Amino acid sequence: MSKIFVAITCGISLLQNLLNSDVFRDYLRRKFNISDDLNLNSLLRNSTLLDLMYRDCMVNGDIAKKIMELLRENPEQYCAELNSLIKLLRSVDNLKLCRVYLYSSNTRSCSICSHVLSKFIVEYLRDYLDKKCNVEVKGILTIPDILSGRYSEALQKLAEGFVREAYRHVRQGFDLYTIITGGFKIEIAYITVLSFLVRSKIVYCPGPESDIVILPPIPIELDHNVLKICEKIINGENLEKETIDLLKRYGLISQKNGKIVLEKWVSKLIEARRWNSTY
């Protein structure tokens, strides 16, 4: 019997698809007394309405219940992340346990989607699949919004959270999968690199009617020469000006209070490489 750990980058496909439903748009109009026409663009740009939806989803749960009601009709059609996960689980033979970890931006729209996605996985996914395997949600990691300009902090947190969970689950005998169907492109690019470093397969699905694509992990390693230089920086050793200028152009280092330091996301990549070499 197999065990798998599935990391999922979360986007807002669920909310986008729901807004194509007359039933959901009418529900929002009645609930929040909206007289104007409600479409995808008007909602995603309306921070006040998104705040109201977020608070209701997290506190009262009314919106979450309505979304779940619609989602249960056809989860593969409404949610790109669920579509990929369901097809992945159906493809794994003799599956005993699937443990899921979600990676979500801290925007209101993405937080609503990841919250409902987590609830659906826990409460309904096993029955929908009609399989005996257990499907658990290990957690949701919320990272800063990439579009806010805090991309370095966002990538650092994503790297730290993903690598930590991947390492723990490999140690427990889990096979690793990373679903990259949802989320910002920069998050997807970064977690793909991290996935290869920890030997995780990559899962992608173009749409509800398509089959999933599962890419085998590419056995990549970080450049040993760069690693040696990074170790020197960690140890406080002096570097030649040409080397410093090169690392700055690569975006690997910064200068703080007159001291050369590694960018935090680079440190997390090095950790991923060290952990990967232990199994």
Question: Of 169, 198, 215, which one is at a domain's C-terminal end?
Answer: 215
Do 101 and 184 share a structural domain? yes
List the CATH number of the domain containing 154.
3.40.50.10770
Judge whether residue 279 has pLDDT over 50. no
Q: Which residue has the higher pLDDT, 117 or 279?
A: 117
Residue 60 makes CB contacts below 8 A (sequence gap 6+) with: none
Side chain identity at residue 70, one-letter code: L
pLDDT digits (tens, 9 = 90+) for 12-53: 999 989 888 888 888 888 888 876 666 666 677 778 888 888
Q: Which domain holds residue 180?
A: 2-10+75-215
Do 197 and 121 share a structural domain? yes
pLDDT digits (tens, 9 = 90+) for 104-114: 999 899 999 99
Residue 231 makes CB contacts below 8 A (sequence gap 6+) with: none
pLDDT digits (tens, 9 = 90+) for 136-151: 999 999 988 877 767 7
In a domain, 254, yes or no: yes
Q: How much is the pLDDT for 100?
A: 97
Q: How much is the pLDDT for 234?
A: 78
Q: Do 6 and 100 meet the contact criterion of CB atoms below 8 Å apart?
A: yes
Judge whether residue 184 has pLDDT over 90. no
In a domain, 61, yes or no: no
Do 85 and 174 share a structural domain? yes
Q: Which residue has the higher pLDDT, 265 or 23?
A: 23
Q: Do 208 and 83 meet the contact criterion of CB atoms below 8 Å apart?
A: yes
* pLDDT, average across residues 176-196: 91
Split into its structural domains, the chain has a count of: 2
Do 123 and 149 share a structural domain? yes
In a domain, 235, yes or no: yes
In a domain, 50, yes or no: no
Q: How much is the pLDDT for 98?
A: 95
Do 183 and 79 share a structural domain? yes
Do 79 and 208 share a structural domain? yes
Do 128 and 169 share a structural domain? yes
Do 209 and 186 share a structural domain? yes
> Which residues is 143 bridged to in the sheet?
105
In a domain, 42, yes or no: no
Percent pLDDT > 90 in the chain is 35
For residue 73, the tally of other CB atoms under 10 A from its CB is: 10
Write b or e for each residue in 176-200: b if 16 or more Cβ atoms lie within 10 A of its Cβ, otherwise e.
Answer: bbbbbbbbbeebbebbbebbbbbbb
Question: Of 193, 215, 237, which one is at a domain's C-terminal end?
Answer: 215
Question: Of 165, 180, 215, which one is at a domain's C-terminal end?
Answer: 215
CA–CA gap between residue 109 and residue 275 (Å, rounded): 34
Tell me whether strands 253-256 and 259-262 are parallel, antiparallel or unpaired: antiparallel
Do 255 and 130 share a structural domain? no
Residue 148 phi, psi (nearest 5) = -80, -10
pLDDT digits (tens, 9 = 90+) for 59-96: 878 888 899 999 998 999 999 999 999 999 999 988 89
Do 186 and 250 share a structural domain? no
Side chain identity at residue 258, one-letter code: G
Instruction: Return the residue matching tokens 């232990």.
Output: 278
Q: Across the chain, what does the average pLDDT equal?
A: 85
Q: Which residue has the higher pLDDT, 206 or 152?
A: 206
Q: How much is the pLDDT for 110?
A: 92
Weakest-pLDDT range from 45-49, 89-93, 123-127, 270-274: 270-274
Report helix angle 151-171 to 185-197, nearest 10: 30
Do 182 and 164 share a structural domain? yes
Judge whether residue 276 has pLDDT over 70. no
Q: Do 239 and 229 meet the contact criterion of CB atoms below 8 Å apart?
A: yes
In a domain, 21, yes or no: no
Which band of pLDDT confidence, cut at 50, 70 and 90, is reported for residue 173? very high
In a domain, 65, yes or no: no
Do 205 and 230 share a structural domain? no
CA–CA gap between residue 247 and residue 121 (Å, rounded): 43
Q: How much is the pLDDT for 261?
A: 83
pTM of the model: 0.85
Q: How much is the pLDDT for 278?
A: 47
In a domain, 28, yes or no: no
